[in-house]
Structure 1
Amino acid sequence: MEILDIVINSVKNISIFSVMDILVVSYIFYKGYMLMKETRAEQLLKGIVLILFLIPVSDLLNLTMLNWILSKTITIGVLSLIIIFQPEIRSALEHLGRTAFTDRQIFANEETVQKVVNEIVTAIGNLSVSRTGALVIIEQFTGLEDIIKTGTRIDAIVSSALLENIFVVNTPLHDGATIIRNDRVVSSGCFLPLTENRELNKKLGTRHRAAIGISEKSDAIIIVVSEETGTISLVLNGNMTRNYTEEKLRSTLTKIIKKRQHKKLTFRERVIQWIKNKKDTR
């Protein structure tokens, strides 16, 4: 009965702010786990949990030497965690740095959006028919300047003819990613980070893994054409959907880009827009 009374009193004393505090902390832990899931950090985290479990067990069993070693390991644990989880910490900060509340416009107007999408889709369709491998990135709010620098600067108006020529086999720029910013092809032959997701289909090649890798680190829209099958794939936020037709690709790109177009909104409207954008990318 005493335990029941304690529980009842505790529940009565919980305020709305306590509930909010619990929900926020739970969300942070959940997002942290999702960032580490299927990466090397997940295995390292399991090792740390095992060490924390063994410390009281070794003390209980009077395993003095083991307990001393484990305790000293935890003592320097904070510094070790920063070093060990450096890639994951960087990834988390990049996620936090992406903002849906930016004042930057991706495209000047809807007419530009439609023109760019049509040119991209036409090129992708032709490359698919000829089974020419391609990797096209449409930059969004996350800047890709560090990736752009790894390729060859072009700075040309987006056109289907230009995109098709870039990916012709054995030409200097075909083996790499082409990045589009607004209505311009800014760079080609760019090198991308590969995903560390071990659950991907083993049949996916380097081009697809690179597309997923950059989508995990940015909000870019990535289009991939398979060299073996001509299959068109769309990659967004680490997720890949395949088997696109030209018409489906055109409508999907238009929908995503238009919803991401910046407008002068109130804070409340921006929060609602951000939530909608997140749903669209799932």
Structure 2
Amino acid sequence: MEGFNLFMNSLKGFSISSAIDVLVVSIIFYKGYILIKETRAEQLLKGVLLIFLLIPISEFFNLTMLSWILSNTITIGVITIVIIFQPEVRKALEHLGRTSFVDKIIYEDEEVMNNVVNEIVDAVEALAKDKIGALILIEQKTGLGDIIKTGTKIDAVVSSALLQNIFVVNTPLHDGATVIKNDRIEAAGCFLPLTNNDKLNKQLGTRHRAGIGVTELTDCLTIIVSEETGVISLAVNGRLLRHYDGEKLKTILVKIMKSRNKNKETFKERVKRWIKRKDKTF
């Protein structure tokens, strides 16, 4: 009854701001669940909810020992969660960072973007034809500075000939990833994090797992050429799309990069545009 009376009293003070508060918190919880869905963190969340459910039950039945263990588990568990699930926490924070009011413009000149895509696709087609393995990262809104530091600095204009030369077998840089930023090849021979996705085809090797892994943590586009089969694949947002030809790869790259390159209108800019439109009406 005490809990019921408390609930009824809280309803009396329910206002518009309270409704907004509930709505915002609901959206945050929903977005959080979407981020951890089908990851290790989802199973952890179920375990935490079970513990929270058991605590009042143990107190109701006066199970002192169990109640003490569960309460202390929650206290220590928060720190443990942050340590164990650091990749998921980082992914969530980076996702929030990318949803800013002012988006980063990747390519100010669309012609430059098309030239870069053409050079990359030409190189990938040639490498696939000769069955030469390749791993190419195209930076988007999330910076790849920490990955660039693991490789050898190149800082050269993107060209098909240079990309092909980098991945020639038995050369010093052929076995790592090459990072492209805007119209420059920033670095080659870079190390990437491997994906922990255990649902991937077991036939996929380290190159594919590294290509998928980096797209789970950033919004970069990763092109992978299989050394065994010459199959061209594209990794985006933790998903691997396979069996591309040059024309199909070019089309999807341009489509994704154009959509991400659009500068989103901020709330302030929308208000200004609305005011101008109203001024013209009168």
Aligned twin of 2:147 = 147
- Supply the distance in 2 between the matched residues of 1:39 and 1:176 (Cα, whole angstroms): 27
One-letter amino acid of the counterpart of residue 52, structure 1: F
Aligned twin of 1:252 = 252
**Cα 1:53–1:265 shift into 2, 3 Å:** closer
- Supply the distance in 1 between the matched residues of 2:82 and 2:264 (Cα, whole angstroms): 39
- Supply the distance in 2 between the matched residues of 1:171 and 1:96 (Cα, whole angstroms): 39
Aligned twin of 1:212 = 212
In the TM superposition, what is the alpha-carbon distance from 1:156 to its structure 2 partner?
0.9
Aligned twin of 2:277 = none
- Supply the distance in 2 between the matched residues of 1:229 and 1:124 (Cα, whole angstroms): 13
Task: Kindly provide the CA deviation profile for residues 10-54 of structure 1, in whole angstroms up to 9, marking residues without a partner as x.
Answer: 99x987766554443333222222322333323332332232233
One-letter amino acid of the counterpart of residue 29, structure 1: F
- Supply the distance in 2 between the matched residues of 1:64 and 1:164 (Cα, whole angstroms): 68
Q: Would you say the 8 A contact 2:120–2:163 is kept in 1?
A: yes
- Supply the distance in 1 between the matched residues of 2:209 and 2:234 (Cα, whole angstroms): 12
One-letter amino acid of the counterpart of residue 164, structure 1: Q
**Cα 1:224–1:20 shift into 2, 3 Å:** farther
- For structure 1, the 5+ residue unaligned runs are 1-9, 271-282
**Cα 1:92–1:187 shift into 2, 3 Å:** same
The answer to which of 89-98 and 259-268 deviates more is 259-268
Task: Kindly provide the CA deviation profile for residues 155-175 of structure 1, in whole angstroms up to 9, marking residues without a partner as x.
Answer: 111111111111112211111
Task: Kindly provide the CA deviation profile for residues 249-280 of structure 1, in whole angstroms up to 9, marking residues without a partner as x.
Answer: 1111112222333558554888xxxxxxxxxx
In the TM superposition, what is the alpha-carbon distance from 1:193 to its structure 2 partner?
1.1
- What does residue range 109-148 of structure 1 map to in structure 2 within 5 Å? 109-148=109-148
In the TM superposition, what is the alpha-carbon distance from 1:243 to its structure 2 partner?
1.3
In the TM superposition, what is the alpha-carbon distance from 1:202 to its structure 2 partner?
2.3
Q: SS at the partner of 1:243?
A: strand
**Cα 1:18–1:226 shift into 2, 3 Å:** farther
One-letter amino acid of the counterpart of residue 111, structure 1: E
One-letter amino acid of the counterpart of residue 240, structure 2: M
Aligned twin of 2:161 = 161
Q: Would you say the 8 A contact 2:101–2:264 is kept in 1?
A: no
Q: SS at the partner of 1:87?
A: helix
Aligned twin of 2:74 = 74
Aligned twin of 2:195 = 195
The answer to which of 62-71 and 13-22 deviates more is 13-22
- Supply the distance in 2 between the matched residues of 1:101 and 1:56 (Cα, whole angstroms): 42
Task: Kindly provide the CA deviation profile for residues 206-228 of structure 1, in whole angstroms up to 9, marking residues without a partner as x.
Answer: 21121121112111111111122
Q: Would you say the 8 A contact 1:38–1:198 is kept in 2?
A: no
- Supply the distance in 2 between the matched residues of 1:26 and 1:103 (Cα, whole angstroms): 25
What's the RMSD between the two structures over aligned residues?
A: 2.7
Q: SS at the partner of 2:91?
A: helix
The answer to which of 136-145 and 60-69 deviates more is 60-69
**Cα 1:200–1:33 shift into 2, 3 Å:** farther
Percent of aligned pairs sharing the same letter? 65
Q: SS at the partner of 1:248?
A: helix
Aligned twin of 2:231 = 231
One-letter amino acid of the counterpart of residue 230, structure 1: G
Aligned twin of 1:52 = 52
In the TM superposition, what is the alpha-carbon distance from 1:181 to its structure 2 partner?
0.7
TM-score under structure 2 normalisation?
0.81
Q: SS at the partner of 2:185?
A: strand
Q: SS at the partner of 1:137?
A: strand
**Cα 1:69–1:263 shift into 2, 3 Å:** closer
Q: SS at the partner of 2:223?
A: strand
TM-score under structure 1 normalisation?
0.81
Q: Would you say the 8 A contact 2:117–2:250 is kept in 1?
A: yes
One-letter amino acid of the counterpart of residue 209, structure 2: R
Aligned twin of 2:279 = none
In the TM superposition, what is the alpha-carbon distance from 1:231 to its structure 2 partner?
1.3
- Supply the distance in 1 between the matched residues of 2:112 and 2:100 (Cα, whole angstroms): 21
